[in-house]
Structure 1
């Protein structure tokens, strides 16, 4: 088998039908991206920040902002015809790791018995000057 035919096979096997998800129940995209993409039975949710579905920043303490971020993610998951228990991976981005404990307090209200795989990292900056962002991967119902 030639390298050319291997390459063509990989491209053919990797291609899939994708569906773009734009939710009316989450903040408008802050840049050029979809709220989520469905592909091969998975839902890839773009990073969500503490903004309302009307595109207004959330006022309040870090816990209030974290709660809104998770609500935004769950709205997109619901609009993708899935549910919280289908989330398999969460990626959390914090501007200040000193907020880790507070984030976990809010997170555990939603993810108490069911705990997906998760990463939480500190970053230098986030879009629009927010201090928390969350993205997830879920499976379809």
Structure 2
């Protein structure tokens, strides 16, 4: 019988405690799932997190930084990402998002991750949410 792999919750120091019972990321064996991250900057102790800016560029770059922080906390990087899911609030943002995304990953040497983009409703002020699945080793 095989040994059961431990499941580890991940919360980078830059992240606040989630508002419900979930983890920012979970690693089990060589799999790392990053929960949906949004464009919140690091919040001051006791302060509510807020979006970094009203624009798609600022929020996308912060969201990607937040996903990367969880990947790093779990011992991974973008080169380990197999799947990235993007949630946009406005179909008109698709082309601009792709420009920002392509710029962000321009220096990635590995094959790019697979990606899905869907349109959703997010809390007021938020324009984008991103999650990722990474495989390590």
TM-score by length of 1: 0.81
Tell me what 2:119 maps to. Answer: 122
Alignment partner of 1:95 out of 76, 79, 89: 89
The aligned counterpart of 2:72 is 78
Match of 2:53 in 1: 59
For the Cα contact (< 8 Å) 1:63–1:103, is it kept in 2? yes
List structure 1 segments (4+ residues) > 4 angstroms apart after TM superposition: none
Map of 1:45 onto structure 2: 34
Identify unmatched segments of 5+ residues in structure 2: 44-48
Q: Could you tell me how far 1:134 is from its partner in structure 2?
A: 0.3
- 1:77/1:83 contact within 8 Å kept: yes
User: In 2, Cα distance between the equivalents of 1:29 and 1:105?
Assistant: 30
Distance apart, 1:75 and its partner CA: 1.0
Give me the whole-angstrom Cα distance separating, in 1, the residues matched to 2:22 and 2:125: 18
**1:103 counterpart SS class:** helix
**Larger radius of gyration between Structure 1 and Structure 2:** 1
> CA 1:99–1:64 in 2, change beyond 3 Å: closer, same or farther?
same
The structure carrying a bigger helix percent of its residues is: 1
Instruction: Identify if the C-alpha distance between structure 1 residues 128 and 42 changes in structure 2 by more than 3 Å, giving closer, same or farther.
Output: farther
